[in-house]
Structure 1
Amino acid sequence: MIRHEALIGRLEAACDRLGERVLGEMYADPFWRERFGERADKHGRQDNRFHVQYLQQALADDDPAVIANYARWLQQVLTARGMCTLHLAENFERLAVAVADERWPDGQAAVDLLQAAKAALAYPDGLAGEVQRRADTIVLAAAVTLSTAGEDEPLPVAELATLVSYCADALALTSPRALADHATWLAGYLERRGVPRSRLVRRLDAIRAAIEQLLPGEPAIAELFDAALPAAWGERFSG
């Protein structure tokens, strides 16, 4: 007898409803439709279905490694396609909250597995892991730098955290282009909303300074921002 058979059935019955809730929360941020267009709906629903399927399999096997391995595989796929690890972590977190809100008798087992999936997104070592583990410190230092420089807007903590996640992913992918491509898109996205490119450049500069303060003398860090900063100004990446 499968230990969590009833919970697996509940997840199957609620899969579409859970997915719609998660997507509704995600799409409150216009980033998703702007960045991925019509694909956002299709792939968003598909990804949430896969999340639930792997969650069900992990429950059936009573093995957290099933969903942890899936999370790490999906991280590699999605970060190479324009998302960042923080986006995926937020997706797992939203799904965990949605499951918890169902108040199923054994629902905590599913919540725990989704938290394991989120934890599996931590890079184990190298510069990517260092940047990811120190993300809060980097964000705070960058926010203080921007505030000290006279930024007249509230401290952009969420925006900075997302940019730092893109930095860690680009390092993990050993691809400065990954950050440069995002900077190119983000600068255009902000510009269409009346936000000058200089704002993004200031944020990238502040993040670079914070990372280099913690991890001085790393050529990969310099290479990353030497590609991203010109891209934010609108120059074509040539690396």
Structure 2
Amino acid sequence: MPHVSLQVEARTTPLASASVRALYEDPFWAARYGIQRARRFGDEDAVFHVRYLVQALDAARPAILEDYARWLRTLLVTRGMCSVHLDQHFEGLARALQAEGFGPDSLPHSYVQSARQALRYKEGPAHAVASDAAAIISAVVRRTEGPLPAGSRPRLEQEVRLQLSYLSDALALGRDDLWSAHLQWYAGFWPQRGLSPLTLPHLLDALRAALEDGPPEALTLLARMPDSWEETHS
């Protein structure tokens, strides 16, 4: 029987394609990069994910894929993405592997899960924020879901998770400018999230309240909302 790395390598194209199929349903990609550019680079990245998985399997070293995930995250967050986006890539790859017969008990699937775990920050304010993410998300949802239509909670939870990810990445890299640039762009994109009447400033206010006892660095970043938002912040 061929080594599992060869089995995965032989399925590189269908695995890569399937791993990102659902990704582009998020309007973020078309709005942020243009759908053609997003698909071109996203599809290329998906192939690289599989290739690094094959390398890791061939060497019996999950650290190869873990190191790749951390390196790629550092690159992507400077281009307008966040850790959640990369995790979604790997989550899609895990689903694609399972569809090809490499289930949760298989080495390929476990290696991908290890790469996802590697994206978790292990120290500093980013770790403090990420490690308490479930409680923070729950607190923000309680504060903001009231005026939203029934059934909005899953999308709202995902939105809070996304903002926490952008915040954690900026904290981990010590790059306040990444958070500021994210807010400037995201303010214009916000209506496409379909969470009206909730506004982005109100969501961030709730996030700041939930992080009241959190790292001071996080509160400092959350206090830096663009002046142009004041007219919508009521």
Name the TM-score, length of structure 2 as normaliser: 0.87
Give a deviation string over 1:95-134, Cα, whole Å, max 9, x none.
Answer: 0111111115998110010000000011110000110111
Contact 2:98 2:104 in 1 (8 A): no
Match of 1:137 among 116, 135, 159: 135
Change beyond 3 A, Cα 1:49–1:32: same
Runs of at least 5 residues in structure 2 that lack an aligned partner in the other structure: none
Give a deviation string over 1:1-39, Cα, whole Å, max 9, x none.
Answer: xxx953222222221212221221101111112112132
Runs of at least 5 residues in structure 1 that lack an aligned partner in the other structure: none
Letter in 1 for 2:220: E
1:173 is the counterpart of 2:173: yes
2:26 and 2:219 map into 1 onto residues whose CA distance is: 31
1:164 is the counterpart of 2:164: yes
Secondary structure in structure 2 of the residue aligned to 1:83: coil
Give a deviation string over 1:178-227, Cα, whole Å, max 9, x none.
Answer: 122222222111346887797000001111111123x16x1x22331232
| 1:233 corresponds to | 229
- Please show how residues 60-139 of structure 1 align to structure 2 within 5 Å: 60-104=58-102, 108-139=106-137
Q: Number of matched residues?
A: 226
1:114 and 1:33 map into 2 onto residues whose CA distance is: 26
Give a deviation string over 1:141-183, Cα, whole Å, max 9, x none.
Answer: 1111114xx4334331111111111111111111222122222
1:191 and 1:125 map into 2 onto residues whose CA distance is: 34
Secondary structure in structure 2 of the residue aligned to 1:89: helix
Secondary structure in structure 2 of the residue aligned to 1:151: coil
Change beyond 3 A, Cα 1:144–1:152: same
Give the fraction of aligned pairs with identical amino acids, expressed as a percent. 36
1:9 is the counterpart of 2:1: no
| 2:208 corresponds to | 208
Change beyond 3 A, Cα 1:192–1:27: closer
1:109 and 1:11 map into 2 onto residues whose CA distance is: 10
Secondary structure in structure 1 of the residue aligned to 2:182: helix
Contact 1:68 1:120 in 2 (8 A): yes
Match of 1:23 among 14, 20, 40: 20
| 1:146 corresponds to | 144
1:56 and 1:7 map into 2 onto residues whose CA distance is: 8
